[in-house]
Amino acid sequence: MKTQAKTAERLTVLTPDPLPLREHLFDDGAALAAALARAVAADLRGAIARRGEARIALSGGNTPRAFLAELSRQTLDWTRVRVVPADERWVPPEHPRANARLLRETLLQGAAAQATLLPLWRPAPGPEAALLPVLTEVANRALPLDVAVLGMGEDGHTASLFPDLGADRPGLREIGLQPSGRAPVLAVRTAAMPEPRMTLTLSALFTAPALYLHIEGAKKREVLDGAARDPRSPLPIRAVLAGAPQPPLLYWCP
């Protein structure tokens, strides 16, 4: 007999450093995806009711596929929704590793295909060359966000804010990870990944009053809890927990 997913919210304070997490815990990824989709859709409907449109930043990778597919089936006025990737690999939009392609194949289906996608990629040799036009579009059309859904890698990165951020250009880490600032996007190069990237900064992501962390697996949970407990942690996910205007909503399953 299948067990019921645990969906009750609880506020967990991890000691000795009191960084709270508002937790939604589930038995499996399918239950998580369905619940997260319902919650995010409710946020989008609320934003549309308040000001006529909604803006959402969504992460890529393998983890959010089921959630994005569930979100595409939610009932709302998708013509009033703007979608921006939280980050993008510097590859053409048809490339298998492109987050824009992931969003088109999973979220932008059926009625949800009427949403407006604001891609971070441009036909330029590198993200640095496209920084100004991307920054301008994000600032004018994507911000402020209503919802941001972030993931996390086992190295503690989120979006394309990696632990070695700023290794090639001093000061980049401070710009990318400060809670408030004027730079909504960054061009990123990391030794951890083969491609250059464009990413939203935390100051852009933190404009969303609804901030979700979608994390699956015991290893990632261990990394998250370690970063929450350690005030000296250099991991970008620590900057999310420490700098967010309110505790993020964690959706997690083993």
Residue 252's pLDDT is 97
Residue 111's pLDDT is 98
Residue 19's pLDDT is 79
Domains of the chain, first to last: 22-253 (3.40.50.1360)
Q: List per-block mean pLDDT (blocks of 10 residues) for the chain, which spans 254 residues.
A: 46 53 95 98 98 98 97 98 98 96 98 98 97 98 98 98 92 94 95 95 98 98 95 96 95 97
Residue 18's pLDDT is 52
What does DSSP say about strands 249-253 and 197-200: parallel, antiparallel, or unpaired? Answer: unpaired
How far lies 228's CA from each of 14, 33, 118, in Å? Answer: 7, 24, 32
Burial class (CB in 10 A: 0-12, 13-18, 19+), 57: buried
Nearest-angstrom CA–CA distance, 95 and 89: 10
